[in-house]
Amino acid sequence: MTTDLYPAARDLLAKLVGFDTTSRGSNLELVEWVEAYLDGLSAPHRRVPNADGTKTNLLATIGPAIEGGVVLSGHTDVVPVDGQPWSTDPFSLQERDGRLYGRGTCDMKGFLALALAAAPELAKTARKPVHLAFSYDEEIGCLGAPSMIEVIRRELPAPAVVVVGEPTNMEAVSGHKGIATFHVTVTGRECHSSQPHLGVSAVMEAVKLMGSLNALSARLWDEADPASPFTPKGPTLTIGMVHGGTAHNIIARECHFVFDLRSPGPRTPEEIVAPFLAECAAMDAALKARAPEAGVVVDMHTNVPPFRPEADGAAEAFARRMTGDNGPPRVVAFAAEAGQFQQAGFSTVICGPGSIDQAHQPDEYVEIAQMQRGAGFMRRLIEWAAED
């Protein structure tokens, strides 16, 4: 007699949500708890930490160390709750009206909880390996996964497929856009605002650059391929953060802004923003001519590759088998670690509980029905892993 995995997954989700793993902090407390859970199953695991050890990926294998297994990939970090009008404690799981509320329930601790709920039975019955790949800093540019993916590529018996459990309503998704984030810092020269001819306003110069990005964003929208399967169809460019100046009567010495570019390819981010980078270089020279300490610096902070549909993809076929999904091919506009796994040579699919519509929102939730569908996926995964 098989057991329903949902109750265990719900309890595990409550525990995982209780750890504040906002990307600006550490995920070590959560990882330590998961390690103790895996130790109870005698499942081998290892860390792949960041440079200073304040955060870490966690990689575990349940079942034999042979080729042909499946990787269940998910990130442990969550986005901030600052300034959001939550009606409940975001780090305490709340159930009401058929939903489970809390930061990360949808994106994406629900999937982690389901994977961990399946682990005890897998530890007893698996004849094929199931690898758990839990990453850090996905929310700020998929920064953690590459080092873990390299360990999987170099040191594990080759897995057959990778399932990235981002929220897709438990439907198979075979493509996503890439994302590149750029940090722009304009430096000027401070002086009294009544004497602007003696200084250089970083804010006023930065506004010119942001105007150029706004125009580029509009062009990208207008030039989108109408046949694209994505929504929105083409690349999108948005400015997400702006900081600058110290007072209304001081010519601003610095202005810093961040923009992100999401593109399905084939053009690279560098190709798309090349005219903007040329404008920044020209402004940098012009500002230095007015004040040697002034200038413009552009830093590409992250560059996550797009995830492209695979012809007869093994991972997509696997996810459809596990879910019973017979729907049309699907792609999503958000970026994830799937493109990084694919770039490393792994057949990859995105499939997890919940909807991206609930991600990053106040009162984030995952529907219980979605978690139950995910439990069904894990039940069939257990049966698959037990096959000869």
Is 254 domain-assigned? yes
Q: Is the same domain home to 261 and 337? A: no
Q: Is the same domain home to 120 and 256? A: no
Q: Is the same domain home to 370 and 359? A: yes
Q: What is the pLDDT of residue 3?
A: 77
Neighbours of 225 (CB within 10 A): 10
Q: Is the same domain home to 114 and 38? A: yes
Q: Is the same domain home to 171 and 320? A: yes
Q: Which of 284, 304, 324 is the last residue of a domain?
A: 304
Q: Please count the structural domains in the chain.
A: 2
Q: Is the same domain home to 288 and 340? A: no
Contact 73, 336 (CB under 8 A): no
Here the CATH number for the domain that contains residue 381 is 3.40.630.10
Which member of 107, 121, 137, 138 is catalytic? 138
Q: What is the pLDDT of residue 388?
A: 80
State yes or no: is 138 an active-site residue: yes
Q: Which of 285, 304, 323 is the last residue of a domain?
A: 304
Q: What is the pLDDT of residue 57?
A: 98
Q: What is the pLDDT of residue 2?
A: 65
Q: Is the same domain home to 318 and 355? A: yes
Q: Is the same domain home to 288 and 350? A: no
Reported as a single tens digit per residue, the pLDDT across 28-40 is: 999 999 999 999 9
Q: Is the same domain home to 233 and 357? A: no
Is 43 domain-assigned? yes
Is 1 domain-assigned? no
Q: Is the same domain home to 148 and 17? A: yes
Contact 59, 130 (CB under 8 A): no
Q: Is the same domain home to 318 and 273? A: no
State yes or no: is 29 an active-site residue: no
Reported as a single tens digit per residue, the pLDDT across 207-260 is: 999 999 999 999 999 999 999 999 999 999 999 999 999 999 999 999 999 999
Note every long-range contact of 288-294, with CB atoms under 8 Å and residues 24 or more positions apart, other chains counting.
290/189, 290/200, 291/188, 291/189, 291/199, 291/200, 293/187, 293/189, 294/187, 294/188, 294/189, 294/200, 294/202
Q: Which of 304, 331, 349 is the last residue of a domain?
A: 304
Which member of 77, 139, 337, 367 is catalytic? 77
Q: Is the same domain home to 210 and 288? A: yes
Here the CATH number for the domain that contains residue 288 is 3.30.70.360
**What is the domain extent for residue 373?**
6-175+307-386
Low-confidence ranges of the chain (pLDDT < 70): 1-2
